[in-house]
Every structure is written in structure tokens, then in C-alpha cells.
Structure 1
Amino acid sequence: MLKGIAVRALAVFAFFSVICGVVYTLVITGIAQAVFPYQANGSIIEVDGKQYGSELIGQQFNDMDHMWGRIQNLSVVESPDGELAVYSGASNKTPASDYTDEETVEAFGESFEDAVATRVEMIKEANPDADMDKVPVDLVTSSGSGLDPHISLAAAEYQIPRLAETTGKSEDEIRTIIEAATTHKLLGIFGEDVVNVLEVNLMLEGILDC
């Protein structure tokens, strides 16, 4: 009797393993590939066969000709076959982790306050003609994941004078590009207007159209 129960239990286990682990997965994957192929494959921005990154994952830009995003704790590596791989190392520094003693600084690096102050000075130095008195907070802090591809409209507009000077485009042209890369509030109510930094930079380079 116990043997019969064990056989039936194993049969049920095998049946649901196949249904839930194989059939369900294949069906959902097939539907995703058929209905949402772009999203299902990582929302990769590809132009003329070249992949430039995912619109869902930020990249680090620090040169004067490009828009800067949030602090990115990641590395984007292109493999020999052209595929992109992303390695993340998100920071856990917060205002609660501030410290000043030399032993702690040596062990853990600069504190959150020092890191933000350093970043503020760097942003101000790179954008001396910015039209705002204060640096938008998202330009001097990282997101929880360290992967955020977006910045606020304020952070994007802060960089317009620099981009106009370094790219040769007018400020109105830069604003048109920013608008094209902006995702607005859901239903005009929920969330915030955010700007995709990678899309802006690809438009600045003429790789993407506005």
C-alpha cells in the first residue's frame, strides 16, 4: 500500500513539474516573444545591427559632450560576439553611515556625506553656466540598485548650457532631445517625469532620431 502511494505521489510530482516547470514556462515565453519581443529581450537599443545598451539599465557618462546620469555602480562589458553584459555593485552608503575617524575611512572609504560633497563639486565644475542654484539631488546620489537609467527633468535641464556649448547644438535643440527621451507621469498623475540618459546621448550623437 505504501508503495502504491509513493508511486502515485511521484507521478503527481512529475506531472506538475512538467506542467509548471516546462509547459508553463514555454507558453509564457512564447507569448512574451510574440506580443512583447522588445521588452522580453531586455529592451535593447539596437541601431543598424549594433547594440548600444538597454533602456532599462543606466550607463556611466562623464565626458563633457554627453548628458550625465545618476552615479552608476556597474560595468557594461561587450563580449567578443557583440553581446552586452552588465555587472552591478550597488552601494549601501546612506546618510546614516556617515563617519569621520581615519580607521573607518581607511576600511570603508569616504562617507556618504563626503561622497556627495565630492560629486557636487564635480557637477558644479562641469556645469558652471547652469541655470539653477542647487545641484539636483539625483545627479549626486545613486539609486538603490545602482542601475537607474533615468534622471529628473530638473537634472537634465541643469546640463543644457554645457551640452549646448560642447555639442554645438542650440539650447532649444537640446530641449527637443530631452523631451523626446522623457517618459511622463502615468495618466499625468502617478510618478514623475523622467529622462532616459542613454537615449539622450544617442540622440546627441545622431544615432537615434528625436
Structure 2
Amino acid sequence: MKNNLIKGIRMTVVLVVLFTVIYPLSVWAVAQLAPNNGKGEIVSYKQTKGYANIGQSFTKDEYFWGRPSAVDYNAAGSGASNKGASNEEYLAVVQGRIDTFLLKNPSVKKSEIPVDLVTASGSGLDPNISVASAKIQIARIQKARNIDPEKLNTLIDANTEQPLLGMFGPAKINVLKLNIALDQLK
């Protein structure tokens, strides 16, 4: 029994050192190789700073809307709603988002709305939308800004990030960067 107790204490000490010292230092060291030393991508625009890797709230008609957030875009409290797809409260929230989208985008049919425009991501902070989500908003933005739809299509294409190595993940668009580019259109 004494042997097992000593082995257990040794194993506990080794694991404590591994998971509280070595692992965090390893993650920190790898982050130092990333752009901005792992502190996120800071975007400056009109004397304000924001993080391109954290979702932002855009609700005006003249901007592309991002993915909804279950945590109101609060990076300190990242998380999902934890409600199942059959939860009545959750379904009411999603239906409200659909109704708002259809009200502001009358030329769109309910069946055409991409799912990422009406459901929050697992973190609640997703800064990206799909290409389809951006393109479906063109009519609303064109009307609000009186911009040629072809310019908006070109802007979307220019801001589309392709999958990693052309095969890992979907094509996506960072909403903050897209809206900054939209503001800079002449």
C-alpha cells in the first residue's frame, strides 16, 4: 500500500508540473510565433481599435450583418446559449432573428437565409460569415448606400478568405474587415 501511495503522490506532482507549468509555457511560446504575439489581430479605423478575431455587432441597414452572439459579443464571457435545437425559447429567438432579417431584406425568401445569419456560434464571438451570407445582404446595402451591386460583389470577392490549403474549412468573410472596406468605397 505504501508503494501505491508514493507512486500516486509522484504521479500527482508530475501532472501538476506538466499541466500548470510546462503546458501553459508551451502554448505561450507557440503564440509568440503568431502575428501580434498571439494577442489577436488589432484593427484601427476612425480612431477606434477593435479585434478582427472577435465578432462585432452591426445592425444598421448600410452594413453587412455578422453572426448573432449568444453572449452579446462579450469576449470575457464566451459561450453558447446551451439550448437544444428543439427548445421553445431558442426557437423563438431564432424565429425573431429570421423575422428581423426578412423585414430588412424583403426580397429574400425564408428558405434562402443562410443558417449562420440567424444562429449563434459555439463561442458566441464568431467574426466571420459565409460568402452566401454576405451576398444575400447585397440588395439591402445597395439600397441603403445607393451603390452598384457589382461593386458590392467585387468587395465580397476581394474580402473572401479561402479555406486553409484550399481544403480545410469553408470560405469565409471577416465582417469587420468587410464593413471597413465598405466604408472606404468611393
Tell me the TM-score normalized by structure 1. 0.67
| Corresponding position: 1:180 with 2:172 | no
Q: How many residues align?
A: 174
Alpha carbons of structure 1 residues 199 and 143: separation in structure 2 relative to 1, 3 Å: same
Question: Counterpart of 2:10?
Answer: none
Residue 95 of structure 1 corresponds to which residue in structure 2? 85
The 3 A distance-change label for structure 1 pair 201 and 76 is: same
Provide Cα deviations, 1:78-136, integer angstroms capped at 9, x if missing partner.
Answer: xxxxxxx75445311221323xxxxxxxxxxxx12222211111101111134885211
User: Displacement, 1:66?
Assistant: 0.8
**What is the aligned partner in structure 1 of residue 3 from structure 2?**
none
1:70 to 2:67 alignment: yes
Are 1:75 and 1:87, in contact at CA under 8 Å, matched by a contact in 2? no
CA separation of 1:138 and 1:32: change in aligned 2, threshold 3 A: closer
Unaligned runs of 5+ in 2: 1-12
Q: Distance in 2 between matches of 1:28 and 1:39?
A: 11
Alignment counterpart, residue 97 of structure 2, candidates 113, 116, 119: 119
Q: CA deviation at 1:202?
A: 1.1
Match of 1:144 in 2: 122
Higher strand proportion: 1
Q: Which runs of 5+ in 1 are unaligned?
A: 1-12, 78-84, 99-110
The residue aligned with 1:106 is none
Moved more, 36-45 or 168-177: 36-45
> Match for residue 133 of structure 2?
155
Counterpart-to-counterpart distance in 2, 1:95 and 1:159: 25
TM-score by length of 2: 0.75
RMSD of aligned alpha carbons: 3.4
Larger-Rg structure = 1
CA distance 1:189–1:21, shift in 2 (3 Å): closer
Corresponding residue of 2:44: 46
Asked whether the 8 Å contact 1:56–1:149 carries over to 2, the reply is: yes
